Amino acid sequence: MASSRTLVLAVLISFHSCYAPVPSLASSDGFLKCLSAAIPKQLLYTQSSPSFTSVLVSSIRNPRLFTPTTVRPLVIVTPTNASHVQAAVVCGRQNDVRIRVRSGGHDYEGLSFRSVRPEVFAVVDLVNLRSVSVDQKTATAWVDSGATLGELYYAISKASKQLGFPAGLCPTVGVGGHFSGGGFGMLLRKYGVAIDNVLDATLVDAKGRLLDKQAMGADVFWAIRGGGGESFGIVLSWKVKLVPVPPTVTMFSVPKSVNEGAVDILTKWQEVAPALPDDLFIRVVIQKQVADFQSMYLGTCDTLLPLMSSRFPELGFNRSHCKEMTWIQSVPYIYLGSTATVEDILNRTTSLDTFNKAKSDYVLQAIPKDVWVQIFAWLAKPDAGLMITDPYGGKISNIPESTTPFPHRGGVLYNIQYMNFWSAATDGSAQIKWLKDFYAFMGTYVSKNPRQAYVNYRDLDLGENVVVGNITSYQAGKVWGEKYYKGNFQRLAMAKGEVDPNDYFRNEQSIPPLGASK
């Protein structure tokens, strides 16, 4: 059992029930002294530490979010057990210093390691809390929040070739943030999202208490499974239900250009893909004038061929497209390419060469063919990015939307992620303008009232026009909160009020406690 789940003696430091918006230098010094008394100094990196910048950058995935003007943390804490996390929270509360929490660093707006507004804060980086313990007999596992998806998948495969887990494609994503927002990947139509398969968790709350599912209560346990990271406390570990996978899965990638009929095929795909058998998942990556149909089928090529022939003949799928492999081999294949090995998914490093910005949508009604023609025209522009479409249907759509905070369920045909990229040679303004203009164009054809968005594709644009003034943070939060959570936002705010009424754990898009006026 991972060390972060071991109940430890409470840190005997008194708590303050309120906080100051901006701590004084004295409180910052008190915070550092408090940390030093409870946590080994080699686990603390202050701004004067020689390794501070390298530790801060170690899991930043987007250089857009790390510039000379980025607000740095006062200190980075790299705990090795639960007591260190508890101490960080208690010291922070005592000295009016907020905490932000990082697991893998993939958060799309960097809120786990930076503040958009001037603020004195610390980062608790869970990189050393990355244990994975698999119980093959019960088909369950405990996984620490600092583990990556690649480390989770690898540990499962070492324990059993017949078990897997339904989460995201990118192996360097941290478990903590991914699970906190829902977490979907190639198995979503068969087994739902990651948090549909979470059985228990350990949470350090704003009082520094270490709580399991029973101790935190039903409302808070509901909230942490999809309500976004860093709102309700620090989740140290998760108990998950593993899912059966067959000995052979079949992968394929079939690119189709506009000249090869991509418009007609996509028009058909958006109706076929959500209605296919749950064992078959076909996503599409659309860039420039090419739509790449990428698939995982839980079975062999021999059984896939007649299924594709009868249900989706427009794609022109044939035996030459089949790539049979094990489930664990599919992880590096789909993300890293055909030459990657299973061991490659353990690599936690990523390049900081490419800047990016993303947005998301949900499609409830099929987009007409003539609009697809216009979409390809947008994608042909000089500064264009790409769009990724993930079909729903099956398990993800059969769960009531109030079961977890992740509400994008029945009625959704597919999710869209829009992304654009640029290098340091440009300021990215043209690429961001294209992204925002394209997003505005797509507004007619996607979900409305609210226009839904996926919280793991965090987008600060969604609330940029909110003027707080005399309205409460709950009312302001509804602007973006109902896009991410629909009708679940109010229940999330109530759960926040239950576990963290003074709003200690807070970032630019965290859940506000219902009724709070801060």
pTM > 0.85: yes
Secondary structure percentages of the chain, helix, strand, coil, to 5: 40, 20, 40
Predicted confidence at residue 118, as pLDDT, reads 87
| Contact partners, residue 136, CB within 8 Å, separation at least 6 | 159, 160, 163
Beta strands in 168-307 (DSSP E): 198-204, 210-211, 234-241, 243-244, 249-257, 280-287, 290-297
| Contact partners, residue 75, CB within 8 Å, separation at least 6 | 31, 32, 35, 44, 45, 46, 47, 122, 123
Predicted confidence at residue 72, as pLDDT, reads 93
CA-nearest of 270, 329, 298, 312 to 191 is 298
68 three-state secondary structure: coil
Half-sphere exposure of 2 (CA within 13 A, CB side): 26
Question: Is the peptide bond preceding residue 400 cis, with omega within 30 degrees of 0?
Answer: no
Domain layout of the chain by residue ranges: 3-128, 249-325
CA-nearest of 237, 180, 241 to 211 is 237
Say how far apart CA 350 and CA 458 lie, in whole Å. Answer: 20
Chain centroid, CA 38 distance in Å: 31
Predicted confidence at residue 436, as pLDDT, reads 98
Predicted confidence at residue 161, as pLDDT, reads 96
pLDDT in tens, 36-95: 999 999 999 999 999 999 999 999 999 999 988 999 999 999 999 999 999 999 999 999
Predicted confidence at residue 515, as pLDDT, reads 55
Predicted confidence at residue 9, as pLDDT, reads 27
**Which stretches of the chain score pLDDT less than 70?**
1-26, 465-472, 515-518
Predicted confidence at residue 469, as pLDDT, reads 55
Say how far apart CA 377 and CA 372 lie, in whole Å. Answer: 9
What's domain 249-325's architecture?
3-Layer(aba) Sandwich (3.40)
Predicted confidence at residue 14, as pLDDT, reads 27
Predicted confidence at residue 351, as pLDDT, reads 75
Q: What is the 3-state secondary structure (H, E, C) of 153-165?
A: HHHHHHHCCCEEC
Say how far apart CA 74 and CA 76 lie, in whole Å. Answer: 7
| Contact partners, residue 193, CB within 8 Å, separation at least 6 | 166, 167, 182, 183, 184, 226, 396, 404, 406
Half-sphere exposure of 40 (CA within 13 A, CB side): 6
175 DSSP 8-state letter: H
358 three-state secondary structure: strand
Q: Do strands 323-325 and 414-422 pair parallel, antiparallel, or not at all (unpaired)?
A: unpaired
Predicted confidence at residue 7, as pLDDT, reads 32
Return the structure tokens found at 268: 């058909």
Q: What DSSP string describes 125-173?
A: EGGG---EEEETTTTEEEEETTSBHHHHHHHHHHH-TTEE----S-TTS
pLDDT in tens, 321-358: 999 999 999 999 999 998 999 999 999 987 788 999 99
CATH class in words for 3-128: alpha beta
Say how far apart CA 453 and CA 56 lie, in whole Å. Answer: 28
230 DSSP 8-state letter: S
Return the ∠ at Cα 229 (arms to 473 and 241), rounded to 5°: 140
Return the ∠ at Cα 62 (arms to 56 and 63), rounded to 5°: 75
CA-nearest of 368, 364, 367, 418 to 389 is 418
Say how far apart CA 428 and CA 234 lie, in whole Å. Answer: 34
User: Is the separation of the CB atoms in 514 and 474 below 8 Å?
Assistant: yes
Cα dihedral sign, 169-172-174-175: positive
Predicted confidence at residue 117, as pLDDT, reads 86
Average pLDDT, the chain: 92
Predicted confidence at residue 452, as pLDDT, reads 98
Cα dihedral sign, 421-346-165-277: positive
User: Is the separation of the CB atoms in 219 and 232 below 8 Å?
Assistant: no
Say how far apart CA 438 and CA 432 lie, in whole Å. Answer: 10
Say how far apart CA 407 and CA 488 lie, in whole Å. Answer: 7
